[in-house]
Every structure is written in C-alpha cells, then in structure tokens.
C-alpha cells in the first residue's frame, strides 16, 4: 500500500514536471506571439499608415513621452473632432498580462497576439483599451474613446468603441510587426 502511494506521488510529480516543459507553451493566458515588437525603437506615430489615418479622419499623430508608474512610456495620439473619436497608442513598461483580472476585462486574440480588453466610462464617454502582448517585458496599449454623441444625442455604446479599438489594434500590430528594425 505504501509503495502504491509513493508510486502515485512520483508519477504525479513527473507529470507536473513534464507538463511545464512542453514546447510552445504560452506564458499566462495568451497564445504564442507571432513575433515580438521592440517598443524601445518603434516610432508609434507610424503605427497607422497615412491611408488608415485618412480612413479615420485624423491628421498625422502627435507624439509625447511620460513617466508611467513602472517606467518611461511613449505615446502617439490622433483625434477626429468631427466624429468625436480619439485614438492613442502607448508603450507600457509592463507585460499585457498585468491587465488580466482588471474589473470588466476580457482576454481576446488580435492578429495572433493576446490582448486584454478593458472598458471604462460606459455611461458617459466610452473608452476601450486593448493591452497587447507584444513581448515578455512590455505591452502596447491602444485606446479609443468616443467624446461625441450619436445622431440621437446618446453616447456611443462601448461595443461600438471596442469594435473600433479592435480594428485599430489589428492595424497597429500589422504595421509595427512589419516595420523595419
């Protein structure tokens, strides 16, 4: 009886050990990345092409830097004052997995990358943020906010804002992944 218990314990330990060593296992809740994106060198204002900016009705992006609680961050923002949508792409010195578990967050894939979707101000000025898993130590945050009301005087739904955020995130990932290093 004691031999069976010891044997089961050893077998269980071996299974646990081998399960953690499998190839291609994603860290955390995300799939394996198609490629890492180096946030230290990327020009965030090239995250959207001129054609994509035209489609969104925005002028070339405006860049700036700030100090985030975890380190320096760079930002590029675009605004469409006609339809009331604002777009921001920001480097974050923390991995996207840090956003998992935020109130109302959901994990979803975008262009093969993991992302965490977080919404805020759903009843006033809807904001949708996607934290994109682009490396082990950093993330990109794409934010889309609707500041205007629709033709009936109501705030735009957070689903509409998040739909735009997902589309813009897809474009950003394609453009930055394919950018020359």
61: domain CATH number?
A: 3.40.1000
Q: Is residue 106 part of a domain?
A: yes
In terms of residue numbers, what domain contains 147?
Answer: 44-177
Closest CA relative to residue 90, chosen from 113, 67, 110? 67
Percentages of the chain per state (helix, strand, coil), in multiples of 5: 30, 30, 40
Tell me the average pLDDT across 115-126.
83
Residue-wise pLDDT tens digits, 5-18: 333 333 333 223 33
Distance CA 132, CA 91 (A): 10
- pLDDT number for residue 14: 29
pTM above 0.75, yes or no: yes
CB 98 within 8 A of CB 76: no
Per-residue pLDDT band at 143 (split at 50, 70, 90): very high
Q: Is residue 28 part of a domain?
A: no
Per-residue pLDDT band at 139 (split at 50, 70, 90): very high
Q: Is residue 103 part of a domain?
A: yes
Total count of domains within the chain: 1
Q: Is residue 93 part of a domain?
A: yes
CB 27 within 8 A of CB 136: yes
Give the torsion sign (CA, 165, 139, 176, 68): positive
Give counts: helices (H), strands (E), the chain: 3, 7
- pLDDT number for residue 17: 31
Q: Is residue 94 part of a domain?
A: yes
């Amino acid at each position: 009886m004691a031999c069976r218990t010891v044997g089961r314990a050893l077998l269980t330990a071996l299974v646990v050990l081998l399960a953690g060593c499998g190839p291609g296992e994603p860290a955390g809740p995300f799939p394996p990345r198609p490629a890492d994106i180096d946030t230290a060198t990327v020009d965030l204002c090239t995250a959207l092409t001129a054609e994509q900016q035209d489609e969104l009705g925005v002028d070339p992006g405006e860049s700036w830097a700030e100090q985030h609680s975890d380190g320096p961050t760079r930002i590029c923002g675009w605004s469409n004052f006609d339809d009331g949508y604002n777009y921001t792409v920001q480097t974050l010195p923390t991995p996207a997995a840090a956003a998992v578990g935020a109130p109302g967050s959901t994990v979803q894939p975008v262009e093969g990358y993991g992302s965490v979707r977080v919404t805020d101000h759903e009843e006033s000025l809807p904001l949708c943020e996607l934290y994109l898993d682009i490396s082990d130590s950093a993330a990109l945050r794409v934010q889309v906010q609707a500041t205007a009301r629709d033709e009936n005087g109501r705030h735009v739904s957070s689903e509409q804002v998040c739909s735009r955020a997902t589309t813009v995130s897809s474009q950003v990932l394609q453009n930055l992944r394919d950018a020359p290093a």
